[in-house]
Amino acid sequence: MSGTPPPVRPRDVVSHSWSRMLQLGLTADRVNKRDFFSEDEVARRRHDSPLRDVVDRIAKMFNASSDAATMMLVVTDADGAVLWRAGTSAVRRRADELEFTEGADWTEAKVGTNAIGTALAEAAPVELLAGEHFEQGQHAWYCSASPIHDPRTGDVLGVIDVSGPALALHPAVGVLVETATRLAQAELWLSHQKRLDALRQLAEPLLAGSTEPSMVVDDDGWVAHRTGVAVGDRIAAPRAGQAIAVPGLGTWLPEKLAHGWLVRPLGRARTVLLGLDLSRTPVLRASSGDAGWRRSITRRHAEILLLLHAAGPDGLTAAALSRALFGDPDHLVTVRAEVSRLRRLLGAVVATRPYRLADGVQLSVHPSRTVADHLARSRGC
């Protein structure tokens, strides 16, 4: 930042973030101007956040820690807005000096390299100590943060962060944040299971006595009830009037219910044909028998499909997919979240453990190039 090489090369995650900060024009030698959401907006975001039901349990676990007196717990939403804080008044007063308060926007673009903003940018857990922060005003702090992903969809719901004075850093902080993240996601999964149970109870009278193959699923394609069919725990997220291709089971058509979808067979073709067009913005076409659909997909999802196609039936582990996408095996959380989002689009077309294209799925790619060439072009090489 001073124009001279540092005595020790920064870690890659820090170096990449610093480069982003310099491109944004942020200043390192003072506190950059903060942005704040209004009290009404903070209240609205708390009410709308799925994390509102797990914050109390996370706070209780944090307060039970022997080092809680020197630390502060922060929970943000997916936009980096600080929604909840917990900690002693002394630590919170020190945080107030940095305007690290409820309602503050704590993204990289506003406050520089910090565990919360960088965890959102990297979609992965981040720990920062002292001078690894971009702003000099944050050098007296350490921070450890981890994104919380929706276990149903893979979407980032927010970030859990534990911060405190750098000289009080305890090696167990990272473990505390990891445990809190797992607790939050386990609670969210339990709530998801309860919603599926409620949907199942609503569906049973509707399907009582029916011998026709059918499924009842939620809005994300998770199966609450099945009759006369062997299917996994998830299909593609239903859309009104749009057929769903289920490998080995043919084409199914969803019908909206009050709190979910009733899905019934439409065609008997058991092979799912996928066509990936990479000539411009990636477009995926799926067909099974006479039914099909066409959707734009992200470049990241296109890369995942290409890699799974190349891997064949042996598939790829999360670590192998992380290495292929990011150059290292450390982005496991990001990989699992991306595959979860892809499965929301495609359902059982993408199988897990290991990740692979399901049996009965055939993928063709246009234009015809090697996977390495497609990946290079996707990444601008």
pLDDT tens for the 381 residues of the chain, in order: 556 776 778 898 999 999 999 999 898 887 888 999 999 999 999 999 999 999 999 999 999 887 778 899 999 999 999 999 999 999 999 999 999 999 999 999 999 999 999 999 988 899 999 999 999 999 999 999 999 999 888 899 999 999 998 887 777 889 999 999 999 999 999 999 999 999 999 888 877 777 788 999 999 999 999 888 888 899 989 988 888 888 878 888 899 988 899 999 887 666 788 999 998 889 998 877 666 778 899 999 999 999 999 999 999 999 999 999 988 887 888 899 899 989 888 888 898 889 999 888 899 998 877 666 766 666 664
In 208-288, DSSP assigns E strands to: 214-217, 223-227, 244-246, 250-256, 261-267, 272-277, 283-288
* Local structure of residue 379 (DSSP, 8 states): T
CA 60 to each of CA 31, 68, 147, 183, 359: distance values in angstroms, whole numbers, following the listed order: 32, 11, 19, 12, 46
* Rg from Cα positions in the chain: 23
Q: How far apart are CA 125 and CA 160, in angstroms?
A: 9
Of the candidates 317, 294, 154, 302, the one whose C-alpha atom is nearest the C-alpha of residue 222 is 154
Alpha carbon 116 to chain centroid, angstroms? 15
Contact 229, 215 (CB under 8 A): yes
Of the candidates 345, 271, 252, the one whose C-alpha atom is nearest the C-alpha of residue 305 is 345
Domains of the chain by range and CATH?
12-190 (3.30.450.40), 214-381 (no CATH)
Q: How far apart are CA 355 and CA 336, in angstroms?
A: 10
CA 173 to each of CA 72, 86, 130, 335: distance values in angstroms, whole numbers, following the listed order: 11, 15, 15, 24
Claim: this prediction has a pTM higher than 0.75 = yes
Q: How far apart are CA 180 and CA 160, in angstroms?
A: 8
* Local structure of residue 32 (DSSP, 8 states): P
What pLDDT does residue 377 have?
Answer: 67
Contact 147, 124 (CB under 8 A): yes
